[in-house]
Structure 1
Amino acid sequence: MRHLLKIGLVANIFEWYEFTVYAYLADVIGSLFFSAENSGGKLIQVFAIFAVGYFARPLGSLFFGMMGDRIGRTTPLKRSLIMMAVPTVLIGCLPTYQHIGLLAPILLLILRCIQGFAMGGELPLNGCYLFEASSDNSKSLLCSIATTSMNIGVLFASFTAFLLFSVFDRHTILAWAWRLPFLLGLPMTVAINNMRYAIREPPLKSKSPLDSAWRVLKQPFMKAIPLVSWLTVFGFVLVVWMPSYLIHFLNYPPSLARLIHTFMLIALVPLGLAAGAIAHFWGYQRLIKFGVVTTIILTYPLWIGLQSVTFGRALATLLLLAVVLSSINGIIMETLARQFPNFVRCRGMNLAYTLPVVFLGGTTPLICTWMIQKTGLLMFPAFYIMFFGLLALPAAWRLKPIENALA
């Protein structure tokens, strides 16, 4: 149990640390890796490279998922970590545009694509391993720890970026200090890799020909995809895009918006763990039904609370939204694992989680921003979240208490 707890805790810290650090340093990276003549579009170019790397994730999900189903879960867990860590450290060593010209953004793009490919095998693989290696009494909690580690990674990246900009001036950051957050990935990788090399392989209970495996995946996908789509839209609005919404559209002071958002990110950690504990006693399927129904009913009135630029009301609103989000985010790995039988569980979980994240995660902030700019409808994000909640409702009602738990 203790070694599973360690694996769950560090499961996704590195991925979301790297993800968030790159976003926080986007302005710096744009200044260093792109031509000065294109200063107006530097930020767009930085996030374009980010997006291209993101779209490599489904290939990684398929590759590592099939590997996990055919030769076991631990091998892809170890390889995906190394494949993700090496490019992160190399980004911290890259020469900039000033030194090698156009080759600098090309190398950055290649390294980001390798990272994206490797990230396709991280969180779902960890969730799959923890679900199968843990006892029935600890499955819900351990799977919730794996997803909660994402929030810890975001917080760690936020703290690292805060220290960077607090300790160094912009000239020093552009000269060399920008490399430090990426190079920090090296000791993190060594520590996580040592834990993963000690893990034991749970037995594969059966194998199946490739054509029959894909037939088995079809029905579980019909339930898993709508649920993960809802989680992705809700999560990216609340976790990734919310500060921009508060600052640019609701005219919150930047310091107030970031403070409120940081408190919400901190709250997501215990809320995710609480969801795992509740799911153990109440049943994961009931908790997901609660999350979907409350999303549809409460998102609009809660969103109205954000329109008032006051600390207490905005914080209470975001915390209540975080409770609803955690009702599925904390147990999504257990939910996915219970939908797929053992011999296709790796690829099923990988693809069911990654495809909505890739196609909805990257586009949700863009769609919300564009729609508000075009229509002036400040409540559009609430309607967007509610729409995906409605799509997830039939899937939530088709979940069974112990579906495929022993498969």
Structure 2
Amino acid sequence: MTSASLSNDRPVAITADRSRKAIYAACVGNLLEWYDFGVYAYLAPLIALKFFPGHDPAASLLAAFAAYGVGFLARPLGGVVIGRLGDTRGRKAALVLTIFMMALGTIGIGLLPSFDSIGLWAPICLVALRIVQGIAAGGEWGTSTAFIIEWAPPTRRGFYGSFQQVSTAGGSLLGSAVAALATTTLSEPQMHAWGWRLPFVLGIVLLAVGVFIRRNVEETPSFTLAQQHTQPAHKVVSGIRLGGLAFGFTIFWTVAYYSLLAWMPTFTHKYAGLSASQALWSNTVGLIAMVIAVPVWGAVSDRIGRKPLLLASVVSIGVLAWPLYYLMSTRTGLVWVMPIQILFGVLLAMYSGPGPAAISEIFPTHLRSTWMSIGYTLAAAVFGGFAPFMSSWLIGSTGSALSPTYFYLIPAAAISLFVIASLRETSGHALN
């Protein structure tokens, strides 16, 4: 038991029971939100046909991925508005708001008439709903990360914080699994007619589960203390500088995540000889490996530090990306693709495990939700959200299935490597 904050000059203790309840609340809502936000990527080929019909399938797919990226462009706005709400009104208020917004966007996509029914209004409304989802996701990541880290026991922030990424990857895993299940159990005509809508309509669970859980948790002790001791004069200068570090820290993280996971079913289906169903199931197995490995690496970071694991992940993926993509594109079939996706999942988990604690520990409490959200979401918008689009465009422009590695993934690794090397080790230090 540790004294974490002051309320009426008396210490408020972080207990194991309070920590578990708070983290459960953050992670369940986070999992459901990222399921909703990510399922779009797994059904992009069908969405392209329903909302962006045309004579060129490649152009339609690019249009669908462009709409996917628009959701990421809206994330910085969510980071500013909802992140600021989290720093002024509390983490809890911000997290309840994101639940409502994400549910609106997801269920709306599931019920939206296609291009054949309402013409150009279909893609316009689709983009509008993606913007709503993007704003919600932009506020969700930083606020939920701050919420978890501030409730974590000081010596276990790496382990507890890793569950933010477990829930994020778990949401993607759930989306991938539901999409795979739908494509396996339903016929192709059924998927084209109505089956693609089911994963989106399931977002209604978001309201029933997420709102109930998040409305029944306490505000973080660190936020309560910060409200009593905030120094407004230092917000702008330190916020911009530290937000820039968070931006650089996130570049590799988001490019690797959306290249190696969200876009991978498209790559393995088109260039590695897998069927659509096999590509989704292989991706699901890779996500399972990542979800299992993330808390392990998070716990390790509490013992040996954040930086050794972060640097090892960046270097290993940067070095192995090209040869592993080459193997997948030349030695087709599940026997090659699935082990590679498992390896990518484990190596990316080495970053995602200590990542939430490491990025949170950059900031003081009164700046954490706002500027961590801004730095993270700007990097996600500029580099991660358009990773599927850029990967498809690079392959189309160069004629090489390997071009996303040396034009996108490896440069991203180099940038974040420089930033991580410049950070001080924060494991074991008091949370500011």
TM-score, normalised with respect to structure 1: 0.88
State the SS of the aligned residue for 1:84. Answer: helix
1:128-277 mapped onto 2 (5 Å cutoff)? 128-173=146-191, 176-202=194-220, 203-205=224-226, 206-209=229-232, 212-252=234-274, 257-277=279-299
Q: Which residue of 1 aligns with 2:15?
A: none
- Separation of aligned partners in 1, 2:219 and 2:250: 27
Q: Which residue of 2 aligns with 1:391?
A: 415
Q: How far has the Cα of 1:164 moved from its partner?
A: 3.1
Q: Once superposed, which parts of structure 1, at least 4 consecutive aligned residues long, lie more than 6 Å away?
A: 35-40
Whichever residue aligns with residue 110 of structure 1, its letter is: A
Whichever residue aligns with residue 346 of structure 1, its letter is: S
- Separation of aligned partners in 2, 1:33 and 1:313: 34
Residues 177 and 320 (structure 1), Cα distance of their counterparts in 2 relative to 1, 3 Å cut = closer
Residues 194 and 136 (structure 1), Cα distance of their counterparts in 2 relative to 1, 3 Å cut = same
Q: Which residue of 2 aligns with 1:354?
A: 377
Q: Which residue of 1 aligns with 2:94?
A: 76
Deviation per residue, 1:320-371 (Å, 9 max, x gap): 3322211111222111110011110011210121111111113333333333
Point out the more displaced range, 112-121 or 155-164. 155-164
C-alpha contact 2:309 2:350 (8 A) present in aligned 1 = yes
Q: Which residue of 2 aligns with 1:321?
A: 344
Q: Which residue of 2 aligns with 1:288?
A: 310
Residues 348 and 187 (structure 1), Cα distance of their counterparts in 2 relative to 1, 3 Å cut = same
Q: How far has the Cα of 1:23 moved from its partner?
A: 3.0
Deviation per residue, 1:15-57 (Å, 9 max, x gap): 3212333233444444544678998855444444333333111
C-alpha contact 1:8 1:142 (8 A) present in aligned 2 = no
Cα RMSD, aligned residues only: 2.9
State the SS of the aligned residue for 1:22. Answer: helix
1:342-381 mapped onto 2 (5 Å cutoff)? 342-381=365-404
Residues 169 and 318 (structure 1), Cα distance of their counterparts in 2 relative to 1, 3 Å cut = closer
- Separation of aligned partners in 1, 2:41 and 2:346: 25
1:27-66 mapped onto 2 (5 Å cutoff)? 27-33=45-51, 42-66=60-84
Q: Which residue of 1 aligns with 2:126?
A: 108
State the SS of the aligned residue for 1:201. Answer: coil
Q: How far has the Cα of 1:9 moved from its partner?
A: 3.2
C-alpha contact 1:61 1:121 (8 A) present in aligned 2 = yes
- Separation of aligned partners in 1, 2:155 and 2:23: 13
* Alignment length (residue pairs): 406
C-alpha contact 1:4 1:130 (8 A) present in aligned 2 = yes
C-alpha contact 2:180 2:280 (8 A) present in aligned 1 = no
Q: Which residue of 2 aligns with 1:91?
A: 109
Whichever residue aligns with residue 62 of structure 1, its letter is: V
Q: How far has the Cα of 1:97 moved from its partner?
A: 4.4
Residues 376 and 139 (structure 1), Cα distance of their counterparts in 2 relative to 1, 3 Å cut = same
C-alpha contact 2:272 2:337 (8 A) present in aligned 1 = no
Unaligned 5+ segments in structure 2 are: 1-18
Whichever residue aligns with residue 342 of structure 1, its letter is: T
Whichever residue aligns with residue 223 of structure 1, its letter is: L
C-alpha contact 2:76 2:138 (8 A) present in aligned 1 = yes
State the SS of the aligned residue for 1:138. Answer: helix
C-alpha contact 1:338 1:402 (8 A) present in aligned 2 = yes
- Separation of aligned partners in 1, 2:257 and 2:189: 35
Unaligned 5+ segments in structure 1 are: none
State the SS of the aligned residue for 2:235. Answer: helix
- Separation of aligned partners in 1, 2:339 and 2:116: 47
User: Pick from 118, 134, 147: which aligns with 2:136?
Assistant: 118
Residues 286 and 177 (structure 1), Cα distance of their counterparts in 2 relative to 1, 3 Å cut = closer
- Separation of aligned partners in 1, 2:365 and 2:152: 14
What is the identity percentage for the equivalent residue pairs of Structure 1 and Structure 2? 30
State the SS of the aligned residue for 1:402. Answer: coil
